[in-house]
């Protein structure tokens, strides 16, 4: 199983780049979506996400 991810692990040690920024953005969007309790106007939701997290 670890053999599949060896290239990604080695890439981290060569370039020291992680996806922490993307994970943080995803977490923020999930929290924002949870506050809305359902989305009725999808274009407005995307507009708000772009303005807040963009």
- Structure confidence by residue, pLDDT tens digits, 39-48: 788 888 888 8
Burial readout 14-49 (b: 16 or more C-beta within 10 A, e: otherwise):
eeeeeeeeeeeeeeeeeeeeeeeeeeeeeeeeeeee
Distance CA 41, CA 1 (A): 43
Q: Whose CA is closest to 19, among 50, 27, 47, 54?
A: 27
pLDDT (0 to 100) of residue 2: 61
Helix locations, 1-54, DSSP H: 6-15, 20-36, 42-53
Q: Which residues of the chain have pLDDT under 70?
A: 1-3, 5, 7-9, 11-12
């Amino acid at each position: 199983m670890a053999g599949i991810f060896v290239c990604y692990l080695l890439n981290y040690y060569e370039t020291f780049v992680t996806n922490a920024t993307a994970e943080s953005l995803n977490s923020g969007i999930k929290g924002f979506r949870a506050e809305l309790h359902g989305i009725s106007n999808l274009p407005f939701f995307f507009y708000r996400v772009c303005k807040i997290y963009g």
